[in-house]
Structure 1
């Protein structure tokens, strides 16, 4: 394991006119990341994802708990940890008055590349993030999305054994999100471990080998995207009827329905083999005299996993 964390907690103190307030941002998180895997911390903004990553990257010390990163303790051996990681935060941290190319070349030289190696690596990253044509423009003249792509490129310049990506695709259009995903997968193929935070369900589902779902500073679920979705059954029927109470009772009586929930005025029924059992469900609703306003069948998603563990939709929370 390249990351082992146990019982991580972080409490901040905020002083105001009413006195001192203690805010518990992270409430005892355990997680393990294997070498060469893409691992995600998925959750809404304010869930504690960034604070967790900043503790692992040695930028803030945990209030309680322990963690080792790349074989080194994040508190007692913070300098050793920093030598072994790359970090891309939500803000760029680059010189707005300088061209993005200069930041790339400087980062590569600091990492130990020769001038020729730095130029080659910079060209690779400029092409990967579609930045070649604007490489010599001052960063302050670029859009927020373009600046974000330069920050990502700088963070990946040295291909460290472990890379932290905090909300890496914020501000990126679909094409550049796809470019980033391709670069992250290439890092894994080269043996690099990646821990990313995200509130994008599709990103965690498509990109990650394993993930944790974090809500209110705690891990509420952990596993592979496929395994987590399988735990709640394979398909989801979303149903809107006039008499929800009667519909709930009817759904509970069907042997092929594993679980039901209410959300935003709709009923969600989780079941295996939805395509085959949907016909039986429609017949049961008709026999029960229930008028259907709308009905849809979908595969279970990570949003359904989040809903099951927290009682709310991640899309709504994010």
Structure 2
């Protein structure tokens, strides 16, 4: 009799321990379900298949940008230049598509992103400038270059091959732009948890000094993280340009705020070492459903900005690892 008491008593303890460990993953799912119910009641169109596809198309580019930011945040840094990389990569792709063809334009856009990521990473590790300041400056630099190239106006192109490919359906009922985003998310999730690169990024975010003492080449993998971020943003810029049919100087204007909101809402801690791409997928769904629902229910754009700002504050407050900071300032 006495032997069965600890066994039965341990069950609720194990359950509560499981819930506490995975609570951050449960929150976005609960929020998604609540938003679907709320907006579905407000407007029946919201819960239709057509609108679900609209949400998928609208969120595909955001998912790539948020995944890019996630890889940098995993090491405890931040990339504020993601939106500007999307813009510049999209403009370069738009310029390249007619003279060089769709394939070369894709490579050109991704190449721009990789180059910017390399510069960001090298500046961080060689000049010892905080990532916040490096990428804040790069945000302005890239925005200026993009406007210089296009003269502040959209760049149109005649070759519609890439646009047709992005908007067509390789899998019936699923636009290719959504398929590309989902496949990329799956690959990055595998990379994060099943490769040396992913383990090292988590290790750096969990404790840079400890990782260095354990033999992790910290500086090299920081550069890798920023290059991966840049390359993903380059791909996002190419897809956005193909989807819209033009390279525009304001293409990535709202990407930074929305991507950070998605990352922290998904449960990846800004302090690094916690989270990953799989959580960012949920965070992007929250932001995409929230944005689409507010559009469908005709909420003003100004109110939407307020709501997204509050989402970021609440999400950061619930995911930040306060043990890593001696002072909150």
Same fold at TM > 0.5: no
Give the structure with higher Rg (CA).
1
Task: Specify which structure has the higher proportion of helix.
Answer: 2
* Shorter-chain TM-score range: under 0.3
Task: Compute the TM-score of the two structures, normalised by the length of structure 2.
Answer: 0.21
Task: Compute the TM-score of the two structures, normalised by the length of structure 1.
Answer: 0.22
